[in-house]
Chain A
């Protein structure tokens, strides 16, 4: 039973375009995350966010930015995509102060 929803499932775009991915959770959590899973299956945290603070992994390029309208939604915008941005982007959520995170199915991005 999926409680973290992501759209689209798959997106193909060209270098330099702007893309935006959506994430919604129905678990009542107050903290959300974005992870990047590369071609070697390595998962790396990009952002964690709740209404109190945004924590950014310092290795994340500035063209990436999270956007939140409320605690149930956290979108990811990429301003000008690069070929190395091709990956699966996974959204997750948890309660603030709790370690257990629940993941969505991911959005696969292919940059041509």
Chain B
């Protein structure tokens, strides 16, 4: 059973629009949620992260909204650019030593 679920599987937006990526999780003990961006042929790169004590985290055009009660979070990419076209992974951890639990990713395509 997938502990971290992402939707949609793929998403297409036009340049300038806001892309919304969803993530939900099963384990209520997860307390740290990073989002990673991965381009083809490269490793994942940390984009933005949030801890379970916050409900919002903003970094430039990227914002995480977190709802602990519903065990859901979302990543908003405002003013999407073609260079944002990549796969975005939601991850979670409860214990740093045990590593991160990843979702299956959302592939985002931004057309000019």
**Residue count of chain A within 8 Å CB distance of chain B:** 29
Of all chain A residues, the one with the shortest Cβ separation from B107 is A41
The reply to whether the CB of B87 lies closer than 8 angstroms to some CB of chain A is: yes
The reply to whether the CB of A112 lies closer than 8 angstroms to some CB of chain B is: no
* Residues of chain B contacted by A97 (CB below 8 angstroms): 96
Of all chain A residues, the one with the shortest Cβ separation from B101 is A45
A48 and B97 within 8 A (CB): yes
Hey, which bits of chain A sit against chain B, CB under 8 A?
4, 6, 31, 33, 35, 40-45, 48, 53, 55, 57, 90, 92, 94, 96-106
* Residues of chain A contacted by B36 (CB below 8 angstroms): 103
* Residues of chain A contacted by B89 (CB below 8 angstroms): 43
Considering the chains assembled together, what is the distance between the CA atoms of A106 and B87 in angstroms?
16
A103 and B99 within 8 A (CB): no
Which residue in B41, B44, B96, B105 is a CB contact (below 8 Å) of A94? Answer: B96
B10 to chain A: closest CB distance in Å?
A: 11
* Residues of chain A contacted by B44 (CB below 8 angstroms): 43, 90, 103
Could you pull out 23 A-B pairs where Cβ atoms are within 8 angstroms?
A4-B43, A31-B96, A33-B99, A41-B87, A41-B104, A41-B105, A42-B104, A43-B102, A45-B101, A55-B97, A90-B43, A90-B44, A92-B43, A94-B96, A96-B96, A97-B96, A98-B96, A99-B93, A100-B46, A101-B34, A102-B46, A103-B36, A103-B45
Q: Which of B63-86 contact A (CB under 8 A)?
A: none
* Residues of chain A contacted by B34 (CB below 8 angstroms): 99-101
Which residue in A44, A57, A96, A101 is a CB contact (below 8 Å) of B46? Answer: A101
A103 and B43 within 8 A (CB): yes
* Residues of chain A contacted by B99 (CB below 8 angstroms): 33, 35, 45, 48, 55, 57, 101
Chain B 94-112, CB-CB to A under 8 Å as 1, else 0, gives 0011111110110000000
